[in-house]
Chains A and B, each alone.
Chain A
Amino acid sequence: MQKIEEMEIQSSSDVVLVRQAVRQFAIELGFGLVDQTKIVTAASELARNTLDYGGGGTVTLETLQNGGRRGLRLTFEDQGPGIPDIELALKDGFTSGGGLGMGLGGAKRLANEFEIESVVGEGTRIIIVRWK
């Protein structure tokens, strides 16, 4: 049965709550410890991006079923300034917020599927999927 949950990301304690919710979903889906850790870490990176660069937003957690495979899809959305050059933003070491610039590229490597849409002045939507 599909399970969906939407959460607000408005403060750094919300990021912690997102991590915990993602962990819970991953455990329920029967993810192994390494897979749990990867998706939770990716969620943490993206939730922080939503907060720091998008000015806050939401994340939607969804369980997926594709034949025998089970997966977890996370959709991060914000109405922030958007990303002018996505390719550049995905590069390791790129940062506009004083971090290490591992967030986007790192999250992409930790997920099995990664999609990003961004319109300057309107906002950003990032979708990641990790399969069991």
Chain B
Amino acid sequence: MERIPILQMGEFLLVTIQVDMHDRLAMTLQDDLTNRISQTSANGVLIDISALDIVDSFIGRILGNIAKISQVMDAETVVVGMQPAVAITLVELGMSLTGIRTALNVEKGMALLQATVGSSANAQFTATEWDLEDDAED
């Protein structure tokens, strides 16, 4: 069965959605991610949707679910790379995805995760200046 690959990078999980997902595939992703968070004790999930040319209410709901589920399992979720046209449409649709953290791209998303989770294990991802400042206590 078709599946969306989940990559592990240190204590974070990375998912890049590159196909036009049908609903079952999205549901499978939600299940797979939940299982992987539990197996790996990951404390951050990064979902890159820069290749998605639409996000409808169903995909929006799945993203929201993933964020909530991961939070329950002590992992932060950041959705990155939403295209402007997709964002405008989602707002018009009436979904603001409150509760989901976002970043402009994978790099900034990683930095945000690191800042939030406060990890030093992923030193290969250098956080941007302001994130370091924000987390001076680390």
Q: A99-B57, A100-B60, A106-B57 are in contact. Are A16 and B20 (CB under 8 A)?
A: yes
Contact residues in A for B55 (Cβ distance below 8 Å) = 41
CB distance from A130 to the nearest CB of B (A): 12
Q: A37-B53, A40-B53, A45-B56 are in contact. Are A102 and B85 (CB under 8 A)?
A: no
Q: How large is the interface on A (under 10, 10 to 19, 20 to 34, 35 or more residues)?
A: 20 to 34
B36 at the interface (CB under 8 A from A): no
Q: Give the segment of B92-100, B113-121, B128-136 that binds chain A.
A: B92-100
CB distance from B28 to the nearest CB of A (A): 11
Q: A19-B54, A100-B60 are in contact. Are A109 and B23 (CB under 8 A)?
A: no
**CA A103 to CA B93, docked complex, whole Å:** 8
A63 at the interface (CB under 8 A from B): no
Contact residues in A for B94 (Cβ distance below 8 Å) = 92, 102, 105-106, 109
Closest B residue by C-beta to A48:
B58
CB distance from B2 to the nearest CB of A (A): 10
Q: Are B61 and A99 in contact (CB under 8 A)?
A: yes
A70 at the interface (CB under 8 A from B): no
Q: Are A110 and B57 in contact (CB under 8 A)?
A: no
Q: Are B54 and A40 in contact (CB under 8 A)?
A: yes
Q: How large is the interface on B (under 10, 10 to 19, 20 to 34, 35 or more residues)?
A: 20 to 34
Contact residues in A for B86 (Cβ distance below 8 Å) = 37
Complex interface residues of chain B between 6 and 28 (CB less than 8 A to chain A): 20-24
Q: Are B24 and A12 in contact (CB under 8 A)?
A: yes
**CA A120 to CA B127, docked complex, whole Å:** 57
Q: Are B93 and A41 in contact (CB under 8 A)?
A: yes
Instruction: Kindly list 14 other residue pairs between chains A and B, CB separation below 8 angstroms, not including A38-B89, A99-B57.
Output: A16-B21, A19-B54, A34-B89, A41-B55, A41-B89, A41-B90, A45-B56, A92-B94, A100-B61, A103-B57, A105-B94, A106-B94, A106-B95, A109-B93
23 pairs, CB–CB < 8 Å, chain A vs chain B: A12-B24, A13-B22, A16-B20, A16-B22, A34-B84, A36-B85, A37-B54, A37-B83, A37-B85, A41-B54, A41-B56, A44-B56, A44-B58, A48-B23, A99-B57, A99-B58, A100-B95, A102-B60, A103-B57, A105-B94, A106-B92, A106-B94, A109-B93
Chain A residues with a Cβ under 8 A of chain B: 12-13, 15-16, 19-20, 23, 33-34, 36-38, 40-41, 44-45, 48, 92, 99-100, 102-103, 105-106, 109-110
Chain B residues with a Cβ under 8 A of chain A: 20-24, 53-58, 60-61, 83-86, 88-90, 92-95
